[in-house]
């Protein structure tokens, strides 16, 4: 599975297509005339080669959605074992739905997670 950085005019959006926040982000970007390349965690998996960059940019504490259903369904031992980049990476690769969505890699290479129109407006 090859994953490349976005071109100068493309924004890469990573997530799950039926996630409401991902839908809102994709719609907002499209409405602004931004070219969006979507990566579906369910069909394409989590891009393991990109995780270190995401972790460096935003940290595992932000990237792991500890308020979501997937996290809450994990047993206490599994949740307690997530303490650093390595353990968070293992969890995210095994359970893509635990990643806060969407993860966006902007045309300049910057990484953000989540969606608000205000935050996105400052990027495009």
CA 25 to chain centre: 12
Q: N- to C-terminal Cα distance for the chain?
A: 28
Residue 54 among the catalytic residues = no
Phi first, then psi: what are they for 105, rounded to 5°? Answer: -105, 110
Contact between 112 and 123 (Cβ < 8 Å): yes
Q: Which of 3, 10, 19, 57 is catalytic?
A: 19
Phi first, then psi: what are they for 13, rounded to 5°? Answer: -115, 125
Secondary structure of residue 36 in the 3-state scheme? strand
Rounded CA separation 96/21 (Å): 15
Sign (positive or negative) of CA dihedral 17, 83, 112, 107:
negative
Which residues carry out catalysis?
Answer: 19
């Amino acid at each position: 599975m090859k994953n490349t950085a976005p071109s100068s005019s493309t924004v890469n959006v990573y997530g799950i297509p039926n996630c409401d926040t991902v839908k809102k982000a994709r719609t907002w970007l499209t409405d602004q005339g931004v070219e969006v390349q979507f990566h579906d965690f369910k069909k394409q998996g989590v891009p393991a080669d990109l995780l270190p960059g995401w972790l460096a940019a935003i940290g595992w504490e932000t990237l792991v959605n500890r308020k979501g259903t997937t996290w809450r369904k994990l047993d206490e031992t599994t949740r307690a074992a997530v303490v650093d980049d390595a353990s968070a990476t293992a969890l995210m690769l095994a359970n893509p739905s635990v990643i806060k969505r969407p993860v966006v890699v902007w045309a300049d290479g910057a990484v953000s997670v989540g969606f608000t129109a205000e935050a996105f407006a400052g990027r495009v």
